[in-house]
Chains A and B, each alone.
Chain A
């Protein structure tokens, strides 16, 4: 287990995120895959059946799971690929792109596409498909990639194997956005509305059937662009909430479980399961709408909440990781080398003092915050958070709602901010992380306003254009300081992506960015 000190000290095991030097062609993805199987004798064949206890929250939008937006889970890279991929060190590398470079002010990014890539229906992947896909993802109503919508002004083809993005603003970290789990490359269709619903991608497996309420089945794509890959013949994913994950694994129906409840690791290992955890993973952000007449409109109440939450206790009790990192009330993740921890971890006395100053000397009752059990341990996690808040006299109910339909439920009122809720936040590059608290995001800042917010937005724009790493780092630190002072929202922190697999499954790895893994090209099963 990595200690918090290691995370914070920037030691060799800490993985950092940064923009690529302008014009660099990053290390090919094939090298990563080959490095995993070096020294092994992978066998061809076998079926990987994984259980996923994370409910499909896209069900509230559509039952049509062939589309990557509404797939069974966000592990879309079994069926599709994107232009780039973020590796386990959180560096962005080409995937369906061969290279990418930016102009001087990072407002134009040009990607050279990999040649000889084919879709599952045999059609070659060209710039026509890349441009259509990007336009779909950036479309104001049809698109499903928020970072595309906020950044991209226009897209054009450059010959048969090239695509050029024109951005609304400079962004030295833009290639991270093209690695997103919904930013998949799809066969071009005349009508953007019809794109993506055929389940066709360029990924290592071809989709055979899907019921996005329950499971999908896919078979090896023999014409995959990485030769002789994948090794396994069939891939099946099954939604396995509640006891189903452990039951399925114990009965031998699953040879892997993604996102297992960490509290069940012992049960999995008692039947031979091998658990591996990434250095970090998704985190939990509390959206606190400040545009209504609610007590947390007062910054002292928000600060009190942040000071009262016992994050180390969450790490200890829920994750068995007492030295794990804790959230710093921004979307930054402990694995970001730019991460700046809060100056005080917990201070119940100070929390009570702030509440008294705000006019609540005897404690306070806050409106319920909604969550859906996106991860199996969440009900327990929120119980621990609620209990720790009570110690400061803060009564706050965390109300559970079903995951399918959660987004429409939370956004049905008080638009565009929505209800008080928790959002799942993946570990990303600093620009994307910090932009989520800016004016580019309608919801998550919760209606944050004032001089601090204005300064924050100015700094974000400067950072996106800043090519000097040290200067950019200083900007990121200042932004985090502002957010920690004004607490527009609260970040809990501590989770690590995990994968549990049978001992005869090789190279099935957990990735900090949940949706970037596992990469199936290197996975094989020893019969």
Chain B
């Protein structure tokens, strides 16, 4: 147990280091390169509209007249305490302006993150029961096709088919940004499904491969010969072993879900952080972009940490390997 605890502590420390690095990259990306934040927000052909006094004033407002190290410390302190300052345009608190979209996206993404591996597992088990068979072929082909479709295509197809043709879900999300979580959940059906489509394929393939290998292994054969029911062999014996590579895929899916969320939210006009990010980038709201980028990185780090802990819990070989060292 102390070994497991040591592993978790090591992971946490590593996550902390990564967060510091992310803060640095966010700072560099938005405030230093390829010019300072002001240069990043004002294209060359628009500079003619700014007098030297305008630029000096704006630099002072953004704190760009201070040394980089001092600015980084301020940015870092703000980021790790979740104090993201105020928006450039309306001077309102950044965290207040993004908290509802953030929670809405978390709700949608959480459902997708839970649903995607479950669907992948179900399909993976089904397809692996007769590898190379018709079911395997159909499921593999369908998931590959879905995986190759861009998110915005999937989203629009879902709106047309499920909302407009079949009337099973709303085409337009008639909901406010600050609606209660259960209302957000109720309108999230199509966006969640669209997100799930992109995540299922890769995780399905990992699980299927793992299941096929596990089901063909000697210990499974021995158990089968000794009369263990097939369902027990699949669920209790083969699945845990096959899950481990899939969980790595799940962690990657979680990391990639940020970009998926942005696209899906734009298609469905979902009141989430993706739309807010698009809005902030187009308005050059640097504090908001910094906040969202940092929070996204934070979410990825946390989810990877949870995936690592899950693998630790599931795979005795990892725990034993650490003990043997």
Contacts and interface: CB of A to CB of B under 8 A. Distances in A.
Nearest to A238: B174
Interface in B46-64: 46, 48-50, 54
* Interface range on chain A (Cβ under 8 Å from partner): 35 or more
A402 B279 contact: yes
A250 interface: yes
Contacts of B170: 251, 253
Given A62-B90, A63-B92, A211-B176, A247 B163 contact: yes
B45 interface: yes
A214 B176 contact: yes
Nearest to B177: A211
A119 to B, nearest CB: 24
B2 interface: no
A60 B89 contact: yes
Interface string A27-64: 00000000000000000000001010000000011110
A258 interface: no
Interface in B163-183: 163-164, 167, 170-172, 174-178
Interface string A226-269: 00000000001010111110011011111000000000000000
Interface in B264-287: 269, 271, 279, 282-283
A254 B92 CA distance: 33
A444 to B, nearest CB: 17
A222 B97 CA distance: 35
Nearest to A408: B89
B172 A254 contact: yes
Contacts of B175: 214-215
Interface string A391-420: 000000000011011001100011000010
Contacts of A367: 45, 48
A454 B48 CA distance: 29
Interface residues of B, number: 28
A253 B271 CA distance: 18
A413 B271 contact: no
A213 B283 CA distance: 15
Contacts of A253: 170-172, 174
A209 interface: yes
Nearest to A253: B172
B197 interface: no
Contacts of B178: 211
B154 interface: no
Interface in B147-204: 156, 159, 163-164, 167, 170-172, 174-178
B89 A250 contact: no
Contacts of B89: 60, 405, 408
Contact of A214 (B90, B171, B177, B283): B177
A471 interface: no
Nearest to B42: A413
A29 to B, nearest CB: 31
A250 B159 CA distance: 11
Interface in B235-269: 269
A250 B177 contact: no
Interface in A251-297: 251-254, 292
A404 B159 contact: no
B39 to A, nearest CB: 15
A368 interface: yes
B50 to A, nearest CB: 5
A251 B282 contact: no
A405 B171 contact: no
B279 A240 contact: no
Interface in A202-233: 209-211, 213-215
A60 B90 contact: yes
A409 B46 CA distance: 12
Of listed A60, A242, A413, residue having the most chain B CB within 10 A: A413
A413 B54 contact: yes
Contacts of B177: 211, 213-214
B264 to A, nearest CB: 14
A250 B164 contact: yes
Interface in A60-100: 60-63
A215 B176 contact: yes
Contacts of B282: 401-402
B49 A414 contact: yes
A247 B161 CA distance: 11
A364 to B, nearest CB: 15
Contacts of B172: 51, 238, 240, 244, 247-248, 251, 253-254
B171 A250 contact: yes
Given A60-B90, A405-B89, A247 B176 contact: no
A49 B156 CA distance: 22
B283 A236 contact: no
Interface of A: 49, 51, 60-63, 209-211, 213-215, 236, 238, 240-244, 247-248, 250-254, 292, 367-368, 401-402, 404-405, 408-409, 413-414, 419
Given A401-B282, A402-B283, 10 more contacts: A51-B172, A61-B90, A214-B269, A238-B172, A247-B171, A247-B172, A367-B45, A404-B283, A419-B46, A419-B49
Interface of B: 45-46, 48-50, 54, 89-90, 92, 97, 156, 159, 163-164, 167, 170-172, 174-178, 269, 271, 279, 282-283
19 contacts: A60-B89, A209-B176, A211-B176, A213-B177, A238-B174, A243-B156, A244-B269, A247-B159, A247-B172, A248-B172, A253-B170, A292-B49, A367-B45, A368-B45, A402-B282, A408-B89, A413-B54, A419-B46, A419-B49
Which 8 interchain pairs have the tightest Cβ spacing? A211-B176, A251-B171, A413-B49, A248-B172, A247-B171, A405-B283, A402-B282, A250-B164
